[in-house]
Chains A and B, each alone.
Chain A
Amino acid sequence: GAVVSQHPSWVICKSGTSVKIECRSLDFQATTMFWYRQFPKQSLMLMATSNEGSKATYEQGVEKDKFLINHASLTLSTLTVTSAHPEDSSFYICSALKGRGKNMNTEAFFGQGTRLTVV
């Protein structure tokens, strides 16, 4: 397997503030990372695809100005929830793609998730 580390594991913030979540691939380089959100008793919902050195691709209905994604290196992507509100409280999960390009045999490895609570 491969290791993806997410930080922090949980965070509580005040409404109106911004929160940054880091996702690191520890033992492989990941040109592509994904960010998901999961509400209680629901499945994971893909928010955006993050590509190293280029702009992220957001899924329909996800506000790119609210959820800022930066993928500045081959091992780090960050998600910043700007001006957070209570409805942004959720479990945020990243994954990093191992293998790319012409190699069709790829697999993604997930971080442990970040529990965000906005009060």
Chain B
Amino acid sequence: DAKTTQPPSMDCAEGRAANLPCNHSTISGNEYVYWYRQIHSQGPQYIIHGLKNNETNEMASLIITEDRKSSTLILPHATLRDTAVYYCIVSTGGSNYKLTFGKGTLLTVNP
């Protein structure tokens, strides 16, 4: 079973920041937080991951709370092409890596 909780859907205006929350209150010390997204009828796309520090790359920023029980994925300037299902997943790395997908959040970016 997925160990994360996400809202089923969110809306965002084009050009605005999209903030997608994720609750992972049972995360263990060696588990990373991963974010993927899936555009309709395609394979999931890796976005970002982190352990406890905030992370930023060319796609997004990941903010992890100090207690690591929740995180937020931030798309700074959402475009229509960012409309997708976003999955927040926790997993250990290395040889025990295993991604179990929940239902994710359907983000709809509106013009």
Q: Report B79 CB to chain A, min CB distance, Å.
A: 19
User: Are A100 and B94 also in contact (CB < 8 A) when A93-B44, A112-B42, A113-B43 are?
Assistant: yes
CA distance in complex: A6, B34 (Å): 22
Interface residue? A32 (CB, 8 A): yes
Give the residues in chain B near A113, CB-CB below 8 Å. 41-43
How many contacting A-B pairs (Cβ < 8 A)?
69
Per-residue 0/1 for B19-57: is the Cβ within 8 Å of any A Cβ (1 yes, 0 no)?
000000000001010101010011111100101000000
Chain A contact residues, majority secondary structure: strand
Tally of A interface residues using CB under 8 Å = 31
Per-residue 0/1 for A97-108: is the Cβ within 8 Å of any B Cβ (1 yes, 0 no)?
101111111111
Chain B contact residues, majority secondary structure: loop
- Looking across the interface, which residue of chain B has its beta carbon closest to that of A34? B99
User: Are A44 and B93 also in contact (CB < 8 A) when A107-B49, A113-B43 are?
Assistant: no
- Looking across the interface, which residue of chain A has its beta carbon closest to that of B94? A104
Q: Tell me whether B104 and A43 are in contact (CB under 8 A).
A: yes
Q: Tell me whether A104 and B92 are in contact (CB under 8 A).
A: yes
Which residues A84-103 have CB closer than 8 A to chain B? 91, 93, 95, 97, 99-103
Pick the contact of A101: B95, B99, B100 (CB < 8 A). B95
Give the residues in chain B near A56, CB-CB below 8 Å. none
CA distance in complex: A32, B95 (Å): 9
Give residues in B with beta carbon < 8 Å to A: 30, 32, 34, 36, 38, 41-46, 49, 51, 87, 92-95, 97-104
